[in-house]
Amino acid sequence: MPWQSTMLIFSLISFFVGFFLPGQARVVREMKQTYQSQDPKDLIRVIRDLQQRKQDLLVEETDVSQKVMQYLRSSDDTAAQVRQLQQEATVLKQRTGAIPLAGPGIRITIREQSSGASPSMLADEDLLLLLNDLWASGAEVISLNGIRLTDSTSVYRAGLNVRVDGKVTQMPLVVDAIGDTENMFKGLQIPGGVLDLLNLRRIGAIVQKVNPLRISD
Partner 1 sequence: MITRGRSGGIFLAALFVMVAGFGYLLAVQFEPTVNKAYVVPAQNVELVEIMKGLERENEGAAQRIVDLRGQLGELESKGASTSDEVRVLTQQLRELRGKAGLAEATGPGVVVTLSDSSRTPTLSDDPNYFVIHDGYLRSIVNLMRRYGATAIAVNDQRVLGNSPIVCAGPIILVNSSRMSPPYVITALGNPEMLADSISQDVFFRVLEMYRDQFKITCSLEKKTSVTVPASLNNAAFKYAVGVK
Residues 34-93 that bind partner 1 (CB under 8 A): 34-47, 49-54, 56-61, 63-65, 67-68, 71-72, 75, 78, 81-82, 85-86, 88-93
Residue 189 host element (H or E)? helix 181-189
C-beta separation of 112 from 173 below 8 A: no
**Nearest-approach distance from CB 116 to partner 1, in angstroms:** 26
Task: State the Cα–Cα distance between residues 146 and 67, nearest whole angstrom.
Answer: 35
Q: Judged by CB under 8 A, which of 99, 160, 168, 200 binds partner 1? A: 99
**Nearest-approach distance from CB 198 to partner 1, in angstroms:** 15
Planar angle of CA 101, 105, 110, nearest 5 degrees: 110
β-strand partners of 206:
109
Within 38-172, strands assigned E span: 101-111, 139-144, 147-148, 155-158, 161-164, 167-169
Q: Which residues from 118-137 bind partner 1, rule CB under 8 A? A: 124-125, 128-129, 132, 135-136
CA distance readout (Å), 83 to 70, 120, 209: 11, 53, 36
**Nearest-approach distance from CB 19 to partner 1, in angstroms:** 13
Which residue lies nearer to partner 1 by CB, 103 or 169? 103
Q: Judged by CB under 8 A, which of 17, 116, 159, 191 binds partner 1? A: 17
Q: Does 178 bind partner 1 (CB under 8 A)?
A: yes
Q: Which residues from 156-175 bind partner 1, rule CB under 8 A? A: 156
